[in-house]
Amino acid sequence: MNDTNLIEIKNLCKSYEGFKLKDFNMTLPKGFVMGFVGQNGAGKTTVIRNMLNMSTPDDGEILIFGKDVQKSPEIIKQDIGIVFDELMFPPHFTPNTINKTLKKFYSSWNEDKFFSLTGKFNLPKKKACGKFSKGMKMKLMIATALAHDPKLLILDEPTSGLDPVARDELLDIISDFVADENKGVLFSTHITADVERIADYVTVLNYGKTFYSGTKDKLLEKYLVIKGNEDDLPSNLKCKTIGFKNYRNGFEALLERKFKNQLPESIVREPANFDEILVFIAKEREKND
């Protein structure tokens, strides 16, 4: 493994009834945020569960900090902060209880940092976390993840259900975290606006297959949305489109920008955003099913 990378996943495969993750690859260098996007059911949580050794891959290799997760699970987990979209503590636990419990589990647990963060987030120490609001629960999970000084944050849909203020606060925390160039974040989300704002790299997973993995800017530069009269679109370009869709008054589709100069002037071309890319690749899947 390259020592500048926090994560290297090579040809990961995992099958369940009705779902198959096939030959998934992803690399996250130190000092960056990876946005991990895809439709519900695309396989993002399957990848994360295998990274955390909560599931065993059928094939492939997962290296975190240069170590195989199957062979060094405890060492790896000491340096990973994990935030899921649901509270991972019993509802009767208070921040005080969580502190007492987790400082026995993490060798690098920092009690002062934990209570500094819970204080910053206005989380009452003695209140049962099950009575917290959605935003408060998420802040508690973030405080817990950061209190043992991880090198890598893995966030699975952390902004789901948060109000705009809480989402903004969380994104600021992520930005501050990667200010340390030895750290990094894997940020799984279906809220593409968050990815556009904060991610350096992006991996797009499409029903178990990698559609793209690389820098965010290169993905956005790669595609155009084209619109117009279907009769004006050359057949050699139509077969290269993604998610081609006919409407009563024309068509629209995704097309790689490299074909731009082959388009007739009558075809409208617009930059593609993340939402449009995800919608068009989903349409392509529906067309092929």
- Can you give the residue range of the structural domain that contains 231? 220-288
* DSSP structure class, residue 114: H
User: Is 189 found in the same domain as 97?
Assistant: yes
What angle do helix axes 134-146 and 164-177 make, rounded to 10 degrees?
10
DSSP-derived secondary structure letter, 91: T
Last residue of a domain, one of 195, 213, 231: 213
Per residue in 20-53, pLDDT (tens digit) is 999 999 999 999 999 999 888 888 989 999 999 9
One-character DSSP codes across 5-38: EEEEEEEEEEEETTEEEEEEEEEEETT-EEEEE-
Residues in contact with 20: Cβ distance below 8 Å, sequence separation at least 6, in sequence order:
13, 14, 208
CATH code for the domain of 138: 3.40.50.300
- Residues 26, 74, single domain; the answer is yes
Comparing 282 with 116, the larger pLDDT belongs to: 116
Q: How many domains does the chain have?
A: 2
Cβ atoms of 59 and 12 within 8 Å: the answer is: yes
- 183-203 burial by CB neighbour count: b if 16+ within 10 A, else e? bbbbbbbbbbebbeebbbbbb
Task: Say which CATH number the domain at 243 has.
Answer: 3.30.70
Q: How are beta strands 242-247 and 268-271 bridged, if at all?
A: unpaired
Question: What is the chain's Cα-based Rg?
Answer: 21
What's the pLDDT tens digit per position in 106-165?
Answer: 989 999 999 999 998 899 999 999 999 888 898 899 999 999 999 999 998 887 777 788
33 and 170 together in one domain: yes
pLDDT tens sequence across 75-105: 888 999 999 878 889 999 999 999 999 999 8
> Of 175, 194, 213, which marks where a domain is finished?
213
Residues 249 and 208 in one domain: no
Pair (196, 260) in one structural domain? no
Tell which of 183, 213, 243 closes a domain: 213
